[in-house]
Structure 1
Amino acid sequence: MIVRIFLFALLFGIDFYAFQAVRLALESQPPVLKTVAFALFWGITAVTVGFVLSYGYFLRNQTTSKSAIRLLRGILMIAWLSKFIIVVFLFLDDGRRLALSLWGALSSDPDGFPERSRTMASVAVTMGFVPFVTLVYGILRNRHRYTVFREKITLKNLPPALNGLKIVQISDIHSGSFTDGEPLRKGIQLINRENPDLVFFTGDLVNSVADEIVPYLDIFGQIRARYGVFSVFGNHDYGDYVRWPSAEMKRENLRRLAEYHRQMGWQLLRNENRIVDIRGEKVAVIGVENYSASPRFQKYGDLAKAAAGTASAALRLLLSHDPSHWEAEVVPCFKNIAVTFSGHTHGMQFGIEIPGWFRWSPAKWMYKQWAGLYQSGQQFLYVNRGFGYLGYHGRVGILPEITVIELYSDLSD
């Protein structure tokens, strides 16, 4: 109870302080605009208080959508963050006022306590309003704004029969974050419209537990490819971020998840491969369990085991969730793997991207290869930006991705 009272006092204190900037910034605006702005400001406060009071009930109520609760919580946190930004700027202005007042008191010409700067108040409100609008827009507009990224890769010694082989890749579905299945159907339609030869899913079907995918099995089960849909696990699929009552329950969760892959018609590759006959040529589709160069993630992958028996294949393609695996093991040790398909980074779901011109995201500070196509010698890596979302229920600048890759022969040889 004491913690809750302190939380309410903190929230109200921040709101009341931030409101002073809003009130001053809108002082000369029409009454209607001020009324709407003030109602919105305090309305968010009322919803936040109600949410905090009811949070425990929502978690206990089995009929409540946990994804919807996380979505509402995210929007309220964005609103609180925006108000906090306003408070920071207002605090700086009040610091200026205090310094001037003290200087005046020590001088022979005291002017009293200066008034707040309307300009500074306007700056404070603007600096708080811009991220609020941007992040909320990313939730309401961008989280299901599926974008098709196309790449053509030229491979040395690719058999002519495989020229134009079309592969669609998706990654990081994170089904536990979804609140509605209908928007997902648009993404599936975009995939099937490509009429791909192969479809690859490169991990993180769920956030934590296998049953998160159950409401969407029929939707993702509609994905079609001429020669099959292949998949691997990602770091979130193993249940490592859940406190399980027993090791057996954790194993059972992973077993169920593997079964859900099968029910959707996906061929799950767990340190194994499939030799697919495509137009008379053998194509090895290799899948490893999660393998990361970072000590923060478990290493379940065994590429030597996964690639065993693929030496006679005309083309070797690898599905590996974490892109750091490529430079750590694939490039130095497995030169015969032509293209590696990864995901994992989401492009941090935040950044600036102008296709063909400019691309930036905080993800670049964590991963050397964080989105798009990379090359080392005759080997290629493609990092998918992700189909879903995690944590922040939206995307700003880095949109959910469906990758279409076409392979071509190097005609120069």
Structure 2
Amino acid sequence: MYQFHILTGLIALYVIGRLVLPLPWKTGAKCLAALGLFSISQHHLVTRTWFGTLASPEVPFAGIVVLGWLFGALLLLASFLFLKDVAAALLFLLRKAGLKWSLPSSHARWAGALSFAAFALSAIGVWQSVKVPEVHTVEITLKRLPPELDGLRLVQITDLHASKLFQGPWVRAVVERVNALNPDLILVTGDVIDGTPDVRAQDVAPLADLKARHGVFAALGNHEYYSNLAGWTQKFRELGFNLLLNEHVVIKSKGRALVLAGVTDRAASRFAATEPDIRKALAGVPKDAPIVLMDHQPRGARINAAAGVGLQFSGHTHGGQILGLRVVSQIVNEGFISGLYQVGAMQLYVGNGAGLWAGFPVRLGVQSEIAQIVLRATPGKETSVQAQ
């Protein structure tokens, strides 16, 4: 994971070279600014060394908020400078072609404007990330869903990332908002926590109060593997989660059946743990029953579709967190980033997540969410969905 620190360091050096060094400042001021920017880029290295881990920085809430604001501003500033450089390169080519266009204003004014925008937007983004998520309701027509189950309501909670940033009172507020929906099923699709069971015990305690008519079911996310997988597996069961680890259950309601399955996460291979196995998860499912799957990462959705899954719930992407920059996350997740997709005969819902990793607590244009899904039965028809 030290490649992460190298990458963030290179981003800081880019900002220093393109923003700080050309400024008409004295050498001492430039050195201080450069040192500050590079320190911001390496704060994760400091926290993982002395204050917890990279996945779970154990510093006070206010510290995480300030560090997140500064780091978010650095990334936004680097993005703005990159776009400015691209624009300058295009204008250079236009001037070569005979058009006398150029970027207005001095470098100092550009630097001031871009810095102000980056720090202001990052502050807004941190606020957007730490607020209690709103409920987002979506109706999905599920092939083979019996008419008797039309209107079945599922609530997906994904990517809570309970941590020093998202502590017990915040988790309690999420639980209360979920329970107020009076759902038939609650699906917890991974990345519930950051940190070990003993450190997070009070923060996850409110999850024991989640209630749904047919129960609370969960699958593991990659962050569960980073912090004592065996301990969290036991803790989740103590909280009342029905863990589905490459297995399924049959939910019966009004005399009809719905298959709910779950697979382990792709991170398992790095920890010598049980890897996801969709065929094992679906072994022995009732013929013609609709199949709903929990798979934390949307990558691999096409494999799950080919196995006969009708509807998959995933998280992991946090919706990309920032409009524009989300394209990077979209690429590494096979194009699936947020919302509803049609994948062959299967539908895939990728939740934006309730929380996110405390190391980059910024959301801009991508809202956190508690997803309420209302299943609809339309025999012989499927919802036509545009990939987002």
Superposed pair shares fold, TM > 0.5? yes
TM-score scaled by length of structure 2: 0.72
| Alignment partners' CA distance in 1, 2:164 and 2:207 | 15
**Counterpart Cα distance in 1 of 2:168 and 2:24:** 39
**Are the aligned partners of 1:271 and 1:303 in contact in 2 as well (CA < 8 Å)?**
yes
Give identity over the alignment, percent.
28
The residue number in structure 1 matching 2:217 is 230
SS, match of residue 340 in structure 2: strand
In 2, are the aligned partners of 1:209 and 1:237 still within 8 Å (CA)?
A: no
Using the alignment, how far apart are the partners of 2:316 and 2:191 within structure 1? 8
User: 293, 308, 315: which is aligned to 1:343?
Assistant: 315
Which segment is superposed worse, 203-212 or 373-382? 203-212
Q: Is the 8 A contact 1:291 1:320 kept in 2?
A: no
Cα displacement (A) at 1:207: 3.1
Please list every run of at least 4 consecutive aligned residues from structure 1 whose deviation after the TM superposition is greater than 4 angstroms: 17-23, 78-89, 294-299
Q: Which runs of 5 or more structure 2 residues have no equivalent in the other structure? A: 1-8, 26-31, 86-103, 382-388
Q: Which structure is larger by alpha-carbon Rg, 1 or 2? A: 1
1:398 maps to 2:366: yes
Contact 2:168-2:204 at 8 Å conserved across structures:
no
Distance in structure 2 (CA, Å) of the matches to 1:118 and 1:160: 65
Pairing partner for 1:384 from 336, 340, 351: 351
Q: Is the 8 A contact 2:320 2:338 kept in 1?
A: no
Shift of 1:77: 3.3
Name the residue aligned to 1:165.
152
Alpha carbons of 1:182 and 1:302: their partners in 2 closer, same or farther (altered >3 Å)?
same
Shift of 1:321: 0.9
Describe the shift of the 1:88–1:275 C-alpha distance in structure 2 as closer, same or farther (beyond 3 A).
closer
Instruction: Tell me if structure 2 keeps the 8 A contact 1:172–1:346.
Output: yes
Which residues of structure 1 form unaligned runs of 5+? 1-6, 24-40, 92-116, 243-252, 353-358
Q: Does 1:265 align with 2:237?
A: no
Q: Structure 2 matches for 1:204-353, cutoff 5 A? A: 204-207=191-194, 209-239=196-226, 253-291=228-266, 300-312=275-287, 314-327=289-302, 329-332=303-306, 334-335=307-308, 337-351=309-323
Match 1:195 to one of 157, 166, 182? 182
Secondary structure, in 3 states, of the residue corresponding to 1:388?
A: coil
Which is worse superposed, 143-152 or 75-84? 75-84
Query: Residue by residue, what CA displacement relative to the aligned partner does 1:312-355 show, whole Å, maximum 9, x if unpaired?
Result: 4732211111111211x2122x22x2111111111221116xxx
- For residue 247 of structure 1, what is the aligned residue in structure 2? none
C-alpha distance in structure 1 between counterparts of 2:80 and 2:153, whole Å = 50
Structure 2 counterpart SS, 1:156: coil
Superposition deviation, residue 72 in structure 1: 3.2
Whether the 8 Å CA contact 2:71–2:360 is kept in 1: the answer is: no
1: CA distance between counterparts of 2:252 and 2:156?
Answer: 19
Asked whether the 8 Å contact 1:232–1:268 carries over to 2, the reply is yes
**Root mean square deviation, CA, Å:** 4.2
CA 322–297 in structure 1, closer or farther in 2 if over 3 Å, else same = farther
Change (3 A) 1:181 1:161: same
Aligned position for 1:66: 59
Change (3 A) 1:264 1:129: same
